[in-house]
Amino acid sequence: MKELQEFNQFFKEYSITSLKKRLGGVKEVFEICSYVFEVGGKFFRPFLLYKVAEYIDYSRRDKVLPFCLALELIHNYSLIHDDLPCMDNADFRRGVPTVHKKFGEAEAVLAGDMLLTLAFDFVSDCKDFEPQRVLRAIKKMSQYSSYRYLITGQFFDIWIQKNRMERNEQSIKITNMYKTSGLILLAVEIPIILFQPIYSIAYKLVRYGYLLGLLFQATDDFMDNDGLAMVLGKEELRDLIDKLYNRISKIELNESLKDIARFVYDRVL
């Protein structure tokens, strides 16, 4: 998707420059913490946040960039910790060594901790929105990156691996919703909090974000032959993906947001 590629070129530079301002005093710390940005990524969540902001208030869309960065920092912190030997024990991500393989396990733990806490540091400086709205956005970020979604989902994932939860359709759907869908929904909810659109627009966007999160993980499972693909089978999972995409397509939004859903859906074609 051309818009995503253009955003990625700009956002990568913005992210690394922002990190250097905070971490440049200790070269080694900056190198470790910026590694996940240097090696690349889709930056899907910050792009989604930016495009939702653009849909609500085009003229002020650039004001959400600190929140875009914060969301990507939270996402990457979770990936760094997810790759650790005590979790998924992954040696590679995005075709390059994971942070703990390149820099060390203890360094990876600290890098993840650094990115998570920096996320809140960046947005707390925001002066472009009313303080009460910024505070509400920070609270939502803290909830969705911890007990409401992300970390609770990681608990579920670990318990399924340890056979403390049964590996079935229901448990995997719940895990997917918590572990993956939450941050995608957060990307939609932050601009809603900051810009306060009318109820009808906010309602459509929340519904869109919820379904998009489910679609994103379902397509991931289909491509990786994992998760729902293991319990439903590829054919039934493909039917679910089609149904989710059709539900999103019926929501009245602009072409940019529809293109994002189409981009996710097209990954399984």
Given a cut of 90, is residue 85 above it in pLDDT?
Answer: yes
pLDDT in tens, 223-260: 999 999 999 999 999 999 999 999 999 999 999 999 99
Q: Which of 46, 65, 57, 64 is nearest to 201 (CA)?
A: 57
Given a cut of 90, is residue 94 above it in pLDDT?
Answer: no
Q: How confident is the model at residue 41 (pLDDT cuts 50, 70, 90)?
A: confident
Given a cut of 90, is residue 40 above it in pLDDT?
Answer: no
As beta bridge partners, residue 92 has 97
Residue 181 is classified by DSSP as: I
Structural domain boundaries, residue 247: 2-266
Place of tokens 């060594």: 97
Given a cut of 90, is residue 2 above it in pLDDT?
Answer: no
Residue 25 is classified by DSSP as: T
| Contact criterion met (CB below 8 Å) for 10 and 17 | no
Averaged confidence pLDDT in the chain: 96
- How many Å apart are CA 80 and CA 99, to the nearest integer? 6
Q: What percent of the chain has pLDDT above 70?
A: 100
pLDDT in tens, 133-171: 999 999 999 999 999 999 999 999 999 999 999 999 999
- How many Å apart are CA 113 and CA 117, to the nearest integer? 6
Residue 71, CA atoms < 13 Å, CB-side half-sphere = 28
Given a cut of 90, is residue 269 above it in pLDDT?
Answer: no
C-alpha distances out from residue 110 to 35, 46, 149, Å: 13, 23, 22
Q: Which of 155, 153, 160, 158 is nearest to 175 (CA)?
A: 153
What is residue 160's predicted lDDT score, i.e. its pLDDT? 95
- How large is the average pLDDT for residues 80-101? 95
Q: How confident is the model at residue 86 (pLDDT cuts 50, 70, 90)?
A: very high
Given a cut of 90, is residue 212 above it in pLDDT?
Answer: yes
Q: Which of 187, 123, 120, 175 is nearest to 151 (CA)?
A: 175
Please count the other Cβ atoms lying within 10 Å of the Cβ belonging to residue 136: 16
- How many Å apart are CA 68 and CA 77, to the nearest integer? 14
C-alpha distances out from residue 195 to 30, 99, 182, 186, 190, Å: 33, 36, 20, 14, 9
What is residue 60's predicted lDDT score, i.e. its pLDDT? 97
| Domain CATH number, residue 82 | 1.10.600.10
What total of structural domains would you count in the chain? 1
